[in-house]
Amino acid sequence: MTLILREADVQEVIEMDDVIAAVTAAMKELGEGVAKNEPRRRVFAPGGLLNVMFASYPGGRCTGLKAYTHADGHVRFLVLLFGLDGALEAMIESDFMGSYRTGAATAVAVKALAPQGPKTVALIGAGWQAGTQALALSRVLEIKELRVYSRDGDRRTAFARDQEDQLGVSTVASGSAELAVRGADVVVTVTTSPNPVIEDAWVEPHAVVVAAGSNWRNKAELPAELVARAQTVVVDQLATAQLESGDLIAAQEAGKFEWSRAVELGAIIAGKWKRPPGTGITLFESHGLALWDLAVGTVVLAAARARDLGEEIRLF
């Protein structure tokens, strides 16, 4: 039997701590060469776009894929989980789940890359994905102050108020991106901008910077100068970054970055990376892996089954 989980089912059972743990475990397997992940593929069709990404996650005893479409102003996400015996175990609506796994990946990276201690966090963007970025970071960091900036003043004010209420951390709606970034220990960009949203000169020399908004080769949230200045450049997967990291592709084309500098997050989680000496900027380019979707899907599926949620159907 196949279990169908809709957005309401996912929202009822998903927990950020569980999602962070699942993404951590999956990335460790990827770094060890046990799990496998294939980069996103896109097909442009009249009036729409189909995206497909897939992976194998032995630790979760599954393989599977995420497929999603852009058409008629809507995005529709679906994760399919297959057991290792090939049976289709679940079909999961995954817009909400996808936001959680992206936030969790940022938390996994920042926990591994940022020194311990209270942190000032700058969040550039106040949309759908920004809330789960803040939530995930609050689970792995002691946040001294959260600063948020978006171009819409009303939105950033409302977002800051909501985050302070929900997370219990001091939150400021910054009047500019520069005011948010200067002095911040962790900087996260999660926007849809095709052009850089921060400047190199604003970023502190010890900061961890996470670019989580773009997975298109012709879009860049960060300037090439910042990529060049980074002491360490981390990617979720090299093959994925080489296809769709607009930040790194633009820097490489400008002669300010070489792919040999990139280290995969999985290698770091698996203990195969040694932090370089001295102080320097650490950059994490997050584009999204199907492996994350499978990892989170397994914990959501288990929780839904424990609470008898979803609809069972017979397929194959």
Question: Do 228 and 257 reside in the same domain of the chain?
Answer: yes
Cα torsion 163, 166, 169, 175 to 10°: value is 10
Predicted TM-score of the model (pTM): 0.96
162: CATH: 3.40.50.720
Tell me, yes or no, whether 60 and 186 share the same domain: no
Q: Write the pLDDT tens digit of every residue in 127-176.
A: 989 999 999 999 999 999 999 999 999 999 999 999 999 999 999 999 99
CA-to-CA distance for 282 and 108, rounded, in angstroms? 14
- Phi first, then psi, for residue 282 (nearest 5°) are -115, 125
As a whole number, mean pLDDT of residues 192-197 equals: 94
Q: Residue 263's pLDDT is what? A: 98
Residue 120 half-sphere exposure toward CB, CA atoms < 13 A: 14
Which distant-in-sequence residues (6+ apart) come within 8 Å of 226 by Cβ? 198, 199, 200, 203, 209, 281, 283
- Judged against a pLDDT cut of 90, whether residue 45 lies above it is answered with no
Domain shared by 154 and 40, yes or no = no
**What is the dihedral sign for C-alpha 53, 20, 60, 13?**
negative
Shared domain check, 285 and 244: yes
Within this chain, do residues 296 and 285 fall inside the same structural domain, yes or no? no
Two tokens at 123?
């969040």
CATH label of the domain that carries residue 47: 3.30.1780.10
Does one domain contain both 158 and 78? no
Regarding whether 262 and 137 lie in a shared domain, the answer is yes
Q: What is the pLDDT of residues 204-263, one digit of tens each?
A: 999 999 999 988 898 999 999 999 999 999 999 999 999 999 999 999 999 999 999 999
Does one domain contain both 74 and 199?
no
**71-115: per-residue pLDDT in tens?**
988 999 999 999 999 999 999 999 999 999 999 999 999 999 999
Same structural domain, 298 and 185: no
Q: Give me the numbers of helices (H) and strands (E) for the chain, helices first please.
A: 11, 15
Residue 214 is predicted with a pLDDT of 85
3-class SS of residue 181: helix
147 shares a domain with 53: no
Could you give the number of structural domains in the chain? Answer: 2
Q: What is the pLDDT of residues 252-296, one digit of tens each?
A: 999 999 999 999 999 999 999 998 998 999 999 999 999 999 999
Q: How far is CA 103 from CA 48, 110, 194, in A?
A: 26, 11, 21
Closest CA to 36 of 217, 210, 301, 295: 295
Q: What residue numbers bound the domain in which 7 lies? A: 2-98+291-313
Residue 292: closest CA among 81, 24, 59, 40: 24
Same domain, 245 and 122: yes
Consecutive H or E run containing 97: helix 95-113
Is residue 32 scored above 90 in pLDDT? yes
Residue 31: partners with Cβ closer than 8 Å, 6 or more residues away: 264, 265, 266, 267, 268, 269, 270, 272
Q: What is the pLDDT of residue 199?
A: 98
110 and 92 in a common domain: no
